[in-house]
């Protein structure tokens, strides 16, 4: 990931509602959620949610498909992992013994 895309991604996540929406979709997993379901779960007005979903989408953090009159959204984990890779790049200047303890702490809590 290049810097400008990393900035877009970070800006998209650095927002109260959008962080909630993204994490909601992360937890929903591959089934995703319809916009209306998200709005109800998080108590957000539909236009506010729509604006924020558009922003998340431009940042590549979510993707969507129409399903009848609903639109279903999914978290795009590949973008998240690309961001994490960017943030950790050159984290130890080639000294793996400095880097490994950091990586060890990143663990999926499932």
Partner DNA sequence: TCCATATTTCATGTTTAATGGAAATAAAAT
Partner DNA sequence: ATTTTATTTCCATTAAACATGAAATATGGA
Question: Which residues from 88-107 bind DNA, rule CB under 7 A?
Answer: none
Task: Determine, following the binding rule CB under 8 A, whether residue 87 of this chain makes contact with a copy of itself.
Answer: yes
To which residue do tokens 């943030």 refer?
Answer: 87
The span from the CA of 16 to the CA of 18, in Å, is: 6
- How many residues line the site for a copy of itself (CB under 8 A)? 43
Q: In angstroms, give the least distance from the CB of 98 to DNA.
A: 24
Task: Determine, following the binding rule CB under 8 A, whether residue 42 of this chain makes contact with a copy of itself.
Answer: no
Which tokens in the block code for residue 42? 């998080």
Asked whether the beta carbons of 64 and 57 are under 8 A apart, the reply is: yes
Q: In angstroms, give the least distance from the CB of 101 to a copy of itself.
A: 9
Which of a copy of itself, DNA, none does residue 110 bind (CB under 5 to 8 Å by kind)?
Answer: a copy of itself
**Residue 83: closest CA among 32, 22, 33, 16:** 22
Task: Determine, following the binding rule CB under 8 A, whether residue 14 of this chain makes contact with a copy of itself.
Answer: yes
The span from the CA of 99 to the CA of 106, in Å, is: 12
Question: Given the rule CB under 7 A, which residues bind DNA?
Answer: 11, 15-17, 34-37, 39, 45-55, 64, 66, 68-71
């Amino acid at each position: 990931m290049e810097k400008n895309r990393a900035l877009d991604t970070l800006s998209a996540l650095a927002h109260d509602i959008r962080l909630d929406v993204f994490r909601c979709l992360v937890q929903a997993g591959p089934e995703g959620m319809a916009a209306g379901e998200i709005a109800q779960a998080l108590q957000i007005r539909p236009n506010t949610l729509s604006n924020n979903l558009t922003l998340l989408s431009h940042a590549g953090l979510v993707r969507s498909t129409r399903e009848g009159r609903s639109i279903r959204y999914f978290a795009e984990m590949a973008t998240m992992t690309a961001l994490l890779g960017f943030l950790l790049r050159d984290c130890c200047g080639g000294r793996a013994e400095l880097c490994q303890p950091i990586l060890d702490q990143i663990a999926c809590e499932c």
